[in-house]
Amino acid sequence: MAARSKARKRALDILFESELRGLPTLELLSERQSTGEVPVQPYAAELVRGVATHSERIDELISWNLVDWTMERLPAVDRNILRIGVYELLWADGVPDGVAISEAVALAQDLSTDNSPSFVNGVLARIKAEKPTLSLDPEASAFSVGDDDDDDDGDPYADDDDPFADADADPSRTPAPDPRP
């Protein structure tokens, strides 16, 4: 197993343990680094810190790309594999997108259910496809993707350049009545 693959596995172990035991991730990382029973490679520590730093945005992006699932329903190992994969896709310099996805799929093959590899691949592929339009600003929400709204009123669907953005300005733009009886 390659050094970075081992580091990903070790990062997964720490993230999984942190979630399972309800411990703060960075405190557990520090504890694991200080005890030295099982070494924490520098890249594993980088992954754990990166996932912890961007956890809200990562979980939001994963949730946004789940089809007929919620984060809570995912097996904990899959949830944390996806977190590492998203971190590597979006924030880890020098990790090609294909490598981030294939390494996450490999972890799922080794450590999770028979359906997990294709599930992990699908979620990460959707996030990769959205990557050019995603804001990586920690204050951004997934719904600010592609927001070209200039008025900063928080409405991502507003378009200041559209004179008919207000339905009252053009009656033909009002919603059609529901045709169902």
Q: What is the pLDDT of residue 140?
A: 55
Q: What is the pLDDT of residue 29?
A: 97
Per-residue pLDDT of the chain (181 residues; tens, 9 = 90+): 799 999 999 999 999 999 999 999 999 999 999 987 888 999 999 999 999 999 999 999 999 999 888 999 999 999 999 999 999 999 999 999 999 999 999 999 999 999 999 999 999 999 999 999 998 875 655 444 444 444 444 443 344 444 344 444 433 333 444 434 4
- Are the C-beta atoms of 60 and 86 separated by less than 8 Å? no
